[in-house]
Structure 1
Amino acid sequence: MNQRAWIVALSLTLAALSLRCAGPRETARIVEAPPLVTEAETTATTGMRAAAPTALPGLDTVRAGRFDTGRLWTFEEPPLDYWEATYGFRPDSAWLARARLGALRLVFESGRCSGAFVSPNGLVVTNHHCTWESLDLIDRPGEALLEEGFYADSLQGERRLPGLYAEQLLEARDVTELIVRGLEEIRDDVERERLRNRRLERLKQQLEAEARDRDTTLHVEIVPLYYGARYTAYTWRRYHDVRLVMTPELRVGYFGGDFDNFTYPRYALDVSFLRVYGPDGRPLESPWYFPWSTEGVRRGQLVFAVGNPGATQRHLTVSQLEFERDYTLPQRLRLLRRRAEVLERYIRQQPDSADIYGLRSVYFALKNTIKATEGQLRGLRDPYLLARKQAAERALRDSMMASDSLRNYFGNVFMQLEALQRSKAAAAPQTAAFQFFGTSTLLSSHILLRALFGYAHDLMRQRGAFPSRLEELRQEALRIRDWPDSVEVGYITARLEELRDYLGPQHPSVQRLLGDRSPAEVARDLVARTALKDSVAFARLLREGYLNSGDASVPVIEVLGPLYFTLGQQLDQFEARERFLNARLAALRFAVYGHSVPPDGTGTLRIADGRIEGYPYNGTQAPPFTTFFGMYDRFYSFRGRSGWNLPARWLTPPEAFERATPLNLAASTDISGGSSGSALIDQDLHLVGVVFDSNIEGLAGEYVYMPDRGMRAVAVDSRGVLEALRDLYGADRLVLELTTGKLIPDEATAEAALVGEVE
């Protein structure tokens, strides 16, 4: 599944309520950073281009590439001249509109994926792994849809997916000047950010009200691009009625398991089909869709990935990347591995119970994130990558120094960022002790998370918070699900060990929490005595007053809560300062390069160009396509090994099943977390693949995009999907809809239509 997926893999890290944020949850989403200068100032030197990259001493063969910051182009600024010069293809506005309106963003409780309309009847394709969470929610007694798959043989059998909605991008409007005007005059970082946030919220409310007056399904999101050098207001149409049509078994959707994850050659049918229904309860009629390609693509062919890539960090300085390498990623890996160990042990010992609690999909998400983070850390430890980033940074500095105005305005930004990293390093142990505490239901004990909500709720009530804000906080708290006692013990033990190890065993708060007991002893005692492990009891305590309840968790959170919020204030200062400096750096880069350099990923719609191509690896060549033959080779080579098993239907396929059909493919299109489910389309707007992953080489693409170093997007080939649907699943009505565009009500009608064609 796709990389760098804090939006997908670390789910509620982004979706859960941040207890340090005073604003409502559904506010203008801040994806990157605050602005510094006005639009006029950032474009004062438009037309300048960077000097030739300068080689580094000892690494004089390393040069920055033209697209090291990626090819995640916005639809507002498509690089038409570059596409025409490179591929001989210059799409018109109608082509771009169809590409934009055919794509979707899928939003669910724990994150986001991409998808696309593939018929005029609201049929949507996305990835199998994007539906894992939803399958846990729609299982009926005796079913195990994640393991067994699902196919609705009639429209009536299509099941609505609770909590999931689809968004279609309708409009994009530049609102930079309305946000940044006068902000550069404010010297205090925190005050500047407060003003920016107030402007964002007011503007978002205004634009949202205007949009809702036109259509109640519209939703507005204001997103900073180039770390705030530009702000764009995106208007999305939201579809709430999304139903499951088909998803394969886990063993083929996630074929190869964690072993093959983020690798290529790959052999996975990582695809699911959904359907959007209109307000009248009928399948949505959509003129914008990507017809399914039955012919597929060939080696070297131009393709475009259209999806919603998550945040990338390709515009960070070398000093910032060194901090990531030395502190952020190692600390994150330790935390992830400890939580995954707890879940793995529980799933192994109590598999049936794990499925009831939905822990298997949580475990897969953590394993996915661990492997992605390992790849990112490996990339930052590669001297070549940092040398290439430093070459780009030096080129930007050279351009700055060549201009008096740029040198005078931006000259100290690099040194200031370096100094900030030293300050962050001094606070790194405290940060690590509370990493993801209170912001992720994947990585936090649900008992401690409920305690933190209860603590915040009572304090806000005592301080006279608005009833609407208290109710919003209460609703967020009540969404936290119960977890098994042994998982809670494992998670709480891990958190207490992190507090002890990072803060030190003699720290006063650690002493208050542990005394002469071990973290495991404290965790077992807490889980045994607290009422917070039960959702009903928690709701009662929240209503009646948690801090005065006498619950066993209260003394614990009275130690952790003040520490967490005090640290939060310090981190807020660091983050505000870094966002301000990143905005300065982005304004400099934008002044030098303009739109020839795309912005980092922001979870909003992008279009990325590339070609179908393999790459050198492991002393040989990775082919541009893999086939079902390769899947069966993996099965027989690892027969009996978990991860490479196949369902029964795959072991005795019909004679018509053609194993030489392409199953997966590799393309040089740029992707990031959130790109999962992106449509891979050709010049005729036909869907030729569904992006589901990156290769190992591509994990470092979080920081620099290097297709010349073998970075590739991995997709399910449209031909392989049809072959499996037709010959292994007998999904005739789905095949007919994909190949003809006709809505088939049930399987019997589809079979009759096929017989008529044969006759």
Structure 2
Amino acid sequence: MKKIFLLLGVLLSLASVQADEGMWLLKELNRQSAARMKELGFTFPIDSIYSEKNASLKDAVVIFGGGCTGVAVSQEGLIFTNHHCGYDAIQKHSSVEHDYLKDGFVSQSKPEELYTEGLNVSFLQKTEDVTDQVTLGITDATSEGERNHIIDSLSTDILAQYKNNEFLTARIVPFYTGNKFYLVVYEVFKDVRMVFAPPSSIGKFGGDADNWQWPRHTGDFSVFRVYANKDNQPSHYSADNVPYKPKYSVPVSIKGYKDKDYAMTIGYPGSTERYLSSWGITQMMESENIPRIEVRTVKQAIWRKAMNADDAVRIKYSVKFSRSSNYWKNAMGMNAALKKLNVVESKQALESRLADWIASSPAATEKYGDVLPSLEVVYKNTMKPVEIGTYFGETFNNGIEIARLANSVNISNVSDKEELMAYVRAKLTDTYKDYVPELDKQVMPALLKLYRERVPAEYLPSVYQTIDKKFKGDYDKYADWVFKNSKFTNLDNLISAISAGGLKELDKDPAMILAKSVAEGRLKLVEDLSPVYPIIDRNARKYMAALMEMQPDKAFSPDANFTQRLSYGSVGGYSPADAIEYDYFSTSKGILEKENPNDPEFAVQNYILDNLRAEKWGEYANEKGSMSVGFLSNNDITGGNSGSPVFNGKAELIGLAFDGNWEALSGDVVFEPELQRTISVDIRYVLYTIDKIMNCPRLIEELTIQR
């Protein structure tokens, strides 16, 4: 069902594409891009950006975890990424006694570095165009179902050569809305250790209040190390492993930058929808973002109150809250920016122009005449189902945790008791570690009530009948009953129930009854939405083909899909409104101005404040003698780029990208060069924090520093 939320209608932006727009495949940088990069100040050899034979810049930029970017900065496997990218690992190692979220973590030797189970770092090996291989035999007459079957089958054949190596990951990824396909192969390292994390008062300074805002004063970084076996190959954790020697590690520049200096990011942007139609944008705003905002507002208020009252709860829910809040605020900012920039109206004007172009040619009419009408009809007809689907997902998939826990067991397809117990321990142990049933019990009635108020009766799971009949519509009483009688409230009780009676015992559990009821409701939504998948897929792909046929000389930048991309641009501020001008960098002065001991998001420990007030910056000072904390550039990034290295013209590291700006949160749909900015932490502030605030000079000594 989620697929409907991510399907792309593909349209060309009304404005002419700026040279700095685009998340480009490194392997396919065209002459126009290379020339523009040099014009902006890039002096590093173009052929040293990407190579599969020789060490190149691409070898230093990694996938960190499952959804972030990192960069190798030493020949001992040291990785810089964002604090919020390392947040999950920091939280896993934290407890009330060792609160690394609050106090930070510093290892003063390699033996002190903490292995983080489940954390992987992936290095790109190659990117290969396999379009011809996976579309062999497909014609215009091939149905969508047949087309997908052929592509899946041929892709499976190609990927078979990688399936027996657990340290290689290969996937075939569609580009240009399924008009092109690439094989991407990664080497995966599974022994990754936490080396350094600043206190959250640095790494998360400003919290939700400052998220997506400029000016920022957040030291959003953390440090990890990749370990390998003695042959420098990927390995599972072992005490005998040694620091990995990457093919390439980047030098670090503390020479700073000026306004309009060259800036370049390389990273793994997750998803954009730059070619989405006006109808698709309307659906995103009204049927996805609005319901998401509403449900998460309710849930997060309950979570926040409990987290502020109890440190143990704060630690357990810190990652969950951060993830939920990030997309909650993003949805609000996106809707505001799309409205302010009149993006729907611009797309509508473009659609009118494009329809005229199609109608002007008999050949184009035959190939593409039904594309626009079909997209309009399918998006308009699915407005309500998608809205219901969003309320459903936010309530039952992302909201009520005990329903998700029970569903994990319900869909396990394991009936043997011993196998089921092993499955539950493997899959749910970490989940239960960060689960507070008393808090979930508060969330359940609030979200059940909201869901009922927002969706038609036919989309209510059958459990609502139980609530009405047995509890007379009282959601609090229902929640009390569920949590009093369910074995899913903690792992030990769940394992005992399985040991006693297996799945049959769990079938009577209130949480399992809820999960099965939810599963039935999910099936109805899938049945409503699944018929439109082939319609959107086919027309989106044909529409992209039409755009490329219409403009054969245009260099199209493919939408982001979590593959390695390059964005080039310049350092610079912006003007979000009349009489408002934002400078291109922030300083430590802003930390002292914002610091508030009574606000958890802006509270800073005294030893950090004393250090900043002393202003003994040494070689990390900027040209004005102060400490730069963050800076702006007009690089084109999105989620997944978090932790991306920001390079100067010599491909030296000057910062780590960690955010975008509020005024351009429409950036996933349309690039606005005058407004869209990447917010990065200055590498000098990173090094200063490591060296002087947290007293860990050994890490500085590992780096190749350009002074």
TM-score normalised to structure 2 length: 0.87
Amino acid in the other structure paired with 1:600 = D
Q: Which amino acid aligns with 2:171?
A: E
Pair 1:231-2:231 in alignment: no
Task: Note if 1:596 corresponds to 2:563.
Answer: no
- Shifted more, 574-583 versus 311-320: the winner is 574-583
Q: 1:329-368 deviations in whole A, cap 9, x for unaligned? A: 111111221221221122133333332xx20222122222
Q: Which of 699, 702, 705 is the aligned partner of 1:737?
A: 702
| Contact 1:454-1:542 at 8 Å conserved across structures | no
Q: Give the whole-Å Cα distance in 2 for the aligned partners of 1:85 and 1:640.
A: 49
Q: Distance in 2 between matches of 1:67 and 1:179?
A: 33
1:518 paired to 2:468:
no
Which residue, out of 526, 529, 534, partners 1:571? 529
- Which residue in 2 is equivalent to 1:292? 252
**Equivalent-residue separation in structure 2 for 1:383 and 1:617 (angstroms):** 12
Amino acid corresponding to residue 465 of structure 2 in structure 1: Q
Distance of 2:50 and 2:259 partners within structure 1: 24
Q: Does 1:329 align with 2:289?
A: yes
Mark the CA change 1:198 to 1:31 in structure 2 (over 3 Å): closer, same or farther. farther
Determine if the alignment matches structure 1 residue 682 to structure 2 residue 648.
yes
Q: Name which of 357, 363, 368 aligns with 1:405.
A: 363
List aligned pairs for 1:199-210, cutoff 5 A: 199-208=154-163
Q: State whether residues 8 and 276 of structure 2, in contact with CA within 8 Å, keep that contact through their aligned partners in structure 1.
A: no
* CA contact 1:613–1:624 (8 Å) conserved in 2: yes
How many angstroms does 1:240 deviate by? Answer: 1.1
Change (3 A) 1:716 1:185: same
RMSD of the alignment, in Å? Answer: 3.3
2:439 is aligned to 487
Establish whether residue 221 from structure 1 lines up as the match of residue 181 from structure 2.
Answer: no
Secondary structure of 1:177's partner? Answer: helix
Aligned-pair CA distance for 1:558: 3.9
Counterpart check, 1:580 vs 2:538: yes
Amino acid at match of 2:273: Q
Residue 35 (structure 2) aligns with:
84
Question: Is 2:461–2:517's contact at 8 Å kept on the other side of the alignment?
Answer: no
Which residue matches 1:501? 453
1:93 partnered with 2:58:
no
Deviates more, 1:330-339 or 1:193-202: 193-202
Change (3 A) 1:473 1:527: closer
Offset, 1:266: 1.2
Note the C-alpha offset of 1:315.
1.2
Q: Percent identity?
A: 21
Q: Deviations over 1:696-748 (max 9, x none)?
A: 1231101101122x11000011222223333322221112222459xxxxxxx
| Preserved CA contact (<8 Å) 1:104 1:169 | yes
The residue correspondences of 1:20-419 to structure 2 (distance < 5 A) are: 63-67=14-18, 70-85=21-36, 87-88=38-39, 89=42, 91-97=45-51, 98-107=56-65, 111-139=66-94, 142-184=97-139, 189-190=144-145, 192-208=147-163, 212=165, 217-280=167-230, 281-355=241-315, 358-382=316-340, 384-419=342-377
Counterpart of 2:131 in structure 1: which amino acid?
T
Distance in 1 between the 2:438 and 2:311 partners?
A: 13
Is the Cα–Cα contact under 8 Å of residues 294 and 718 in structure 1 kept in the other structure? yes
Question: Which residue, out of 432, 437, 455, partners 2:410?
Answer: 455
CA distance in 2, matches of 1:304, 1:468: 50
Alpha-carbon separation, structure 1, partners of 2:99 and 2:603: 17
Post-superposition offset of 1:505 = 5.7
Shift of 1:455: 3.0
1:659-738 matches, within 5 Å, as: 660-708=626-674, 710-738=675-703
Matched to 2:494, the amino acid is F
The answer to whether the 8 A contact 2:298-2:446 is kept is yes
Aligned match of 1:530 in 479, 486, 511?
486
Greater mean alpha carbon deviation, residues 365-374 or residues 543-552: 543-552
Q: Is the 8 A contact 2:167 2:187 kept in 1?
A: yes
Relative to structure 1, the CA distance from residue 187 to residue 522 in structure 2 (aligned partners, 3 Å threshold; closer, same or farther) is farther
Q: Which letter maps to 2:180? A: R
Aligned residues: 671
Q: Kindly tell me: are residues 559 and 726 of structure 1, through their superposed partners in 2, closer, same or farther at Cα, counting changes over 3 Å?
A: closer
- Tell me: CA distance 1:320–1:655, structure 2 relative to 1, closer, same or farther (3 Å): closer
Q: Secondary structure at the match of 2:16?
A: coil
Give the distance between the partners of 1:434 and 1:135, measured in 2 at CA.
31
Instruction: Spell out, residue by residue over 1:410-454, the C-alpha distance to the aligned partner (whole angstroms, 9 max, x if none).
Output: 12111101111122124245424422466x5xx232321132233
TM-score (norm 1): 0.81
What whole-Å deviation, never above 9, does each CA across 1:566-608 have from its counterpart, x for those lacking one? Answer: 3223333333432232222222233334671111111111000
Q: CA deviation at 1:380?
A: 2.8
**Structure 1 residues 342 and 85: alpha-carbon distance in aligned structure 2, compared to 1, 3 A threshold:** closer
User: Greater CA deviation, 263-272 or 582-591?
Assistant: 582-591
Moved more, 314-323 or 86-95: 86-95
Deviations 1:445-494 (A, max 9, x none): 23211322333345x869xxxx9999979954666426222222133224
Which letter maps to 1:158?
E
- The 3 A distance-change label for structure 1 pair 185 and 405 is closer
Are the structure 2 counterparts of residues 547 and 697 from structure 1 closer, same or farther at C-alpha, using a change threshold of 3 Å?
A: farther
- Give distance in 2, aligned partners of 1:275 and 1:456: 36
Mark the runs of 5 or more structure 1 residues left unpaired by the alignment.
1-17, 22-29, 37-48, 54-62, 742-759
State the shift of 1:523 in Å: 1.5
- Conserved 8 A contact 1:429-1:502: no
2:27 & 2:351 partners in 1: Cα distance? 26
Seen in structure 2, the aligned counterparts of structure 1 residues 508 and 258 have a Cα distance that, compared at 3 Å, is: closer
After TM superposition, the structure 1 stretch with the greater mean CA deviation from structure 2, 343-352 or 98-107, is: 343-352
Counterpart CA distance in 2 for 1:341 and 1:199 is: 48
8 Å contact from structure 1 (residues 455, 561) kept in 2: no
The answer to whether the Cα contact below 8 Å between 2:77 and 2:245 also exists between their aligned partners in 1 is yes
Deviations 1:57-100 (A, max 9, x none): xxxxxx51314994100113213323414643584322334221
Residue pair 2:299, 2:447 contacting (<8 A) in 1 also: no
**Distance of 2:559 and 2:599 partners within structure 1:** 40
How far 1:131 moved relative to its partner? 1.1
The answer on whether the counterparts of 1:679 and 1:691 sit within 8 Å (CA) in structure 2 is yes
Consecutive unaligned residues in structure 2, runs of 5 or more: 231-240
Q: Secondary structure at the match of 2:124?
A: strand
Query: Contact 2:79–2:225 (CA<8 Å) still a contact in 1?
Result: yes
Shift in alpha-carbon separation, 1:96–1:197, aligned structure 2, 3 A: closer
How far did 1:246 drift?
1.3
* Residue 354 to residue 665, structure 1, CA distance change in 2 (3 Å): closer
Paired residue secondary structure (1:343): helix
User: Kindly tell me: are residues 505 and 69 of structure 1, through their superposed partners in 2, closer, same or farther at Cα, counting changes over 3 Å?
Assistant: farther
